[in-house]
Amino acid sequence: MAQGFQQAGDTPREPHPGQRLGNRYELRQRVKVGRGISTWQGLDLLTHERVLVKVTALSAFVPTSRHRLEHEAEVLSRLHNPALV
């Protein structure tokens, strides 16, 4: 499993800027919404690095979507470029 991929606990139906997830990530600005997943620019509160956070409702989280997100997180975690968030 890629680093940072975790269940962050209950989230409200509509995530919002400033919301903290799992005492680790703070949502800053929504980037995209699609397929029941919202993607946010965020801040890792432990490392102070900018991150992308994907938020989905547990009811929409089926095994195939979990596998897809884990794969995406693994691939993206290998990219290191200052132009990428």
Residue range(s) defining the domain that contains residue 52: 20-77
Higher local confidence (pLDDT), 14 or 15 = 15
Residue 73, in any domain of the structure:
yes
Distance between CA atoms of residues 24 and 8, nearest Å: 9
Residue 10, in any domain of the structure:
no
pLDDT band at 2 (very low <50, low <70, confident <90, very high): very low
pLDDT band at 42 (very low <50, low <70, confident <90, very high): very high
Residue 45, in any domain of the structure:
yes
Higher local confidence (pLDDT), 80 or 25 = 25
Residue 66, in any domain of the structure:
yes
End-to-end CA distance of the chain: 20
Number of independent structural domains in the chain:
1
Residue 82, in any domain of the structure:
no
Residue 25, in any domain of the structure:
yes
Residue 4, in any domain of the structure:
no
